[in-house]
Chain A
């Protein structure tokens, strides 16, 4: 299985994501520079990692969402290639229009960096290895994680079971305590918490592993 981690100027979780894809998914993983518009056709999984692409200029993820590789990512994702965006990756997915809504400044104005409890909805290709309603602990590290969408969008997400993860408490002001959502086809997941930082006992927890396990099953 072949996977790509997309690297932007200012990405800083690209290496951790590559380790997760190689060690937990067993994927043959390339790191693809954003300036290269040609994403290999045989890529079966795309990961957009966390970080501060373009120094968060204009809005978090705004510049990266218009960078050369994005056209190829949008094409691949619309073709059904599973695509995961974590933290800044989630911001890039909303800015590019692949996921609805927007991620605004945390309601507290603070950068939040700690483990948070999440409730899992296992009705997505990314979360099917968790039990439904399972509580997991995954770290967050963000300044702009406050999910906003209009009422109609929130209702659509709820009605179609597209809210993959919810915070147990009000972490950042997100509507409906949303921590992660999928697109209509279910092949794109954006989430603020970092599953790639919870895959080894030395990380302090392994609750992120099942997300990557689920993708092996999907792609096998």
Chain B
């Protein structure tokens, strides 16, 4: 019973001990982005004007313990989440 109450409490107060981290992965400047080009072309085909360029990327959301360090997340990006040969990453905490 105690565990159930604790779980409910955790859910309500989730912000206290968990954290959402957003990792944005984008192609480096100078790396051709065929997907972005195709999206650009399709938007223009739909009649949208004034778009100079489109770059497509990826958003990865991590639900983590609050005490996880920036270095740790950067390490995750370098080792798996981004391919640093072609991609840059940005980390956003809230």
The answer to whether A and B interact is yes
Spell out A's residues near B (CB within 8 Å).
58-59, 62, 66, 94-95, 100-102, 104-109, 146, 148-150, 173
Q: Report which of A95, A101, A102, A106 forms a contact with B34, defined as CB distance below 8 A.
A: A106
Give chain A nearest CB distance to B45 CB in angstroms: 14
Give chain B nearest CB distance to A94 CB in angstroms: 8
**Could you show 29 A-B contacts with beta carbons less than 8 Å apart?**
A58-B81, A59-B83, A62-B80, A66-B79, A66-B80, A94-B85, A95-B83, A100-B85, A101-B85, A102-B83, A102-B86, A104-B31, A104-B32, A104-B34, A104-B86, A105-B34, A107-B32, A107-B34, A108-B34, A109-B34, A109-B35, A109-B38, A146-B34, A148-B31, A148-B86, A149-B85, A150-B85, A173-B32, A173-B34
Given the complex of chains A and B, what is the CA–CA distance between A114 and B5 in angstroms? 61
* Interface size of B in residues (CB-CB distance below 8 Å): 11
Given the complex of chains A and B, what is the CA–CA distance between A104 and B35 in angstroms? 10
In the complex, the chain A residue whose C-beta lies closest to that of B80 is: A66
**Residues of B contacting A149 with CB < 8 Å?**
85
Using A100-B85, A109-B38 as known contacts, list a sample of 9 further A-B pairs with CB atoms less than 8 Å apart, ordered by residue number in A: A62-B83, A66-B80, A94-B85, A101-B85, A102-B85, A104-B34, A109-B35, A148-B85, A173-B32
Given the complex of chains A and B, what is the CA–CA distance between A58 and B38 in angstroms? 20
In the complex, the chain A residue whose C-beta lies closest to that of B79 is: A66
In B31-80, the 8 Å CB interface with A consists of 31-32, 34-35, 38, 79-80
In the complex, the chain B residue whose C-beta lies closest to that of A95 is: B83
Given the complex of chains A and B, what is the CA–CA distance between A106 and B79 in angstroms? 24
In the complex, the chain B residue whose C-beta lies closest to that of A59 is: B83
Spell out B's residues near A (CB within 8 Å).
31-32, 34-35, 38, 79-81, 83, 85-86
Given the complex of chains A and B, what is the CA–CA distance between A100 and B86 in angstroms? 11
Give chain B nearest CB distance to A99 CB in angstroms: 11
Given the complex of chains A and B, what is the CA–CA distance between A58 and B60 in angstroms? 10
**Residues of A contacting B31 with CB < 8 Å?**
104, 148
**Residues of B contacting A59 with CB < 8 Å?**
83
Q: Report which of A58, A94, A150, A173 forms a contact with B80, defined as CB distance below 8 A.
A: A58
Given the complex of chains A and B, what is the CA–CA distance between A100 and B83 in angstroms? 12
In the complex, the chain B residue whose C-beta lies closest to that of A107 is: B34
Given the complex of chains A and B, what is the CA–CA distance between A203 and B85 in angstroms? 36
Given the complex of chains A and B, what is the CA–CA distance between A94 and B31 in angstroms? 17
**Residues of A contacting B86 with CB < 8 Å?**
102, 104, 148
**Residues of B contacting A100 with CB < 8 Å?**
85
Given the complex of chains A and B, what is the CA–CA distance between A70 and B79 in angstroms? 14
Given the complex of chains A and B, what is the CA–CA distance between A62 and B32 in angstroms? 20
**Residues of B contacting A66 with CB < 8 Å?**
79-80
Give chain A nearest CB distance to B25 CB in angstroms: 9
**Residues of B contacting A105 with CB < 8 Å?**
34-35
**Residues of A contacting B80 with CB < 8 Å?**
58, 62, 66
